[in-house]
Structure formats: C-alpha cells, structure tokens
Amino acid sequence: MAIMKAYNTYKYGKPGEVLRLVDIVEKEPQNTEVKIKVITTSINDYDWCMTTGTPLSYRFLFGLFSPAGKFRTPGMELAGIVEQLGPAATKFKVGDAVYGDISEYGFGSFAQYLCIDEKALCLKPDSMSFEDASCIPHAAMLAVQGLRDLGEIGEGQSILINGGGGGVGALGVQIAKLFNAHVTGVDTGKKLKAMEDLGFDRVIDYKKEDFTRSGHQYDLILDCKTNRSLYKFLRVLKPKGKYVSIGGQSGKLMQMLYMSPLLKLFSKKRMHVLMLKANKEMEYINQLYDDKKINCVIDGPYEFEKIPWAVQRLGDGLHHGKIVISVD
C-alpha cells in the first residue's frame, strides 16, 4: 500500500489554519483514468474559494459547512508524468509528460500523485518547462476565449483588462498585442510596474482612480474581477463595445447574465459571461509559446510545503502572474 503526501482541508477557514499536509493512500486509476506524478501545480481562485468557503455561494458547489470529500484536496492545474494507465485509458503511455486544467473532471493537484480522466490532460510540448506548463492551461484559455472567441478582438482596438496583474492579465496583454491593440490594465501596488514592463500601454491603480469614471471608452473590456455594476461598465464601452467577464463576485455575475438579453433591446453594446471550455485549442497556445509570442509570468516557483502560504498570497492579491508550486 503506497502512501503519498497531499494537502487536505476538512473545514473552511484561513489557508494557513485549515490546509494540512497529510499522508494518504495512493489511488489506482479506474477505467479511462491515468495516474499522474505531479511535478508542478499552480494556485487559482477556485483553490481560495474551496479553502475559505468564500464567496458563500461557492459552498453550494463545494459543501455547505465544510468541503465535501472530493473537494478536500484543492488544486486544478498541473504538469506531470504519466505513471500508470487505467484499464480503458488509451490517450497516453506511461512516461508521457502531460499538463492541463483538470477542473471539469475533478480537483486534487495539491498532491504528489493524482488519478484523473485522461480527457482532462494534454501532451506537454518538449519545449515547455513543467513550471510554464502548470500556469498556462486555465489562464491562457480564459484569455483566449474571453478576448478572441467572445470578445471578437479586432485589429488596433482599445482594450481594458480589469485585474491585469494576475495570470490571465499577464497572458491576455500578450495575446491582445498580437492584434496591435492598445491595452490598459487595472490593478494596484507593485504589480503596476511589472505590468508596464510586460507591455501594458497604460496602467491604472484602482486605489487611486476609478476607470469607470475616467471618460475613456473601450472597444473591449476583459474583466477578471467583476466587482462593479453593469451600469458602470456600460458607460466606458464604445457604442459597439463588448464586455466579457471571466469570473468574480457571484451577485455581479448573476446581474450580467440576467441583464444581457435586455441590453440587446436598446443598445449595440454587448455583455458576456464566459463559460470556460477547459483545454480547448491548447494547440493554438502551444504554437504561440513555440514561436516565442507569449511568455509565462511566474510568481515562484515555491516549495510544496508553502502551498497554504501561496493560497493566502493569492487571496491577498499580492501575486503577479501565476503562482507556481514545485511538488516534486
């Protein structure tokens, strides 16, 4: 009976208090599952929500009073090595390097080993480091599907990314620049200088300036925070502008969903809430990576033992780019 290390939480609270490194029995892959030796993982908003139980609406997903069994080990992005195949698994072979956003099939990458359906993973390009691979899938797909698919970004447009200092913003500005866009980023603190260095044409400190009152209008807004009302965003969109939310406060997201159909009755402005398709078109991102058109902005990598601290770091908004953890 093989034993591994994993982070478990049995109640909601501060990451440093409720995330515990424990010994658990390694599982065997079933049906189309594969067993992965996790080399690197990354920290995402879901990990914060799953650990703290906030916003409260997420408890309907993870468990009302404490995380349900399958949510006790957080972690939704990984890069690693295939160790074992389930009896019906055919996509990979033992020894393959893989990576992916596993959230459609489960969680659990804050562990040394993980069994997950093979559909949750893609082959890792040889040119891509494990550190880069663990910070690309979720953030890159949010940026691509938000800017290109829903936002229909056009050549030379004026773009704003709210929450531009995080993982999505770091990749989003690079993708927007492929369209020669003028990109404004909103964040605060030390992130602002790093954002300028990365290629944002203008940065706004939200603690000093409310961009919804600036009078400047945008062709496309990619919102990683969704912390303002629909009406505030409408006034900074151009007449045919588009707004795309990729996550944030649940109340504001619901407002967007309900009001979007009504908006079409009296305006050419459009509001969208992205329903992410995990790992869709990873080949597009892989090609951009190989062509050196995008670079990963990594906060870390940090040691496996620092996961509780890293989750708190994300919750406090102190990170720039993606927080990466070396598990192996």
pLDDT for the residue 47? 96
pLDDT for the residue 251? 61
pTM confidence score: 0.92
**Owner of token pair 């972690």:** 75
Class of the CATH-defined domain 3-136+296-326: alpha beta
Give percent of the chain above pLDDT 70. Answer: 95
| Average pLDDT over every residue of 20-44 | 97
Does pLDDT of 322 surpass 80? yes
Q: What whole-number distance in Å separates Cα of residue 309 and Cα of residue 216?
A: 38
pLDDT for the residue 265? 66
Length of the chain: 328
Q: What whole-number distance in Å separates Cα of residue 233 and Cα of residue 238?
A: 10
- Span 148-167, pLDDT tens digits: 999 999 999 999 999 999 99
Which one-letter DSSP state was computed for residue 31? Answer: T
In degrees, rounded to 5, the angle at the alpha carbon of residue 198 between the alpha carbons of residues 197 and 201 is 80
Helix (H, G, I), strand (E, B) or coil at 243: strand
pLDDT for the residue 256? 65
Confidence of residue 76 (pLDDT cuts 50, 70, 90): very high
Does pLDDT of 32 surpass 90? yes
pLDDT for the residue 228? 78
| Average pLDDT over every residue of 54-59 | 83
Does pLDDT of 196 surpass 90? yes
| Average pLDDT over every residue of 197-214 | 94
- Span 105-123, pLDDT tens digits: 999 999 999 999 999 999 9
Structural domain boundaries of the chain?
A: 3-136+296-326, 140-273
Angle at which helices 191-198 and 167-177 cross, to 10°: 30
Within 10 angstroms of residue 14's Cβ, the number of other Cβ atoms is 13
Instruction: Answer whether CATH 3.40.50.2000 is correct for domain 140-273.
Output: no
pLDDT for the residue 225? 84
- Span 211-236, pLDDT tens digits: 999 889 999 999 998 877 777 888 99
Domain 140-273 in the same topology as domain 3-136+296-326? no
Pairing between β-strand 182-187 and β-strand 158-162 as defined by DSSP bridges: parallel
Handedness of CA 116, 117, 118, 122 (dihedral sign): negative
Angle at which helices 45-52 and 307-315 cross, to 10°: 100
* Tokens at 260, concatenated: 């979007």
pLDDT for the residue 269? 84
Average per-residue pLDDT for the chain: 92
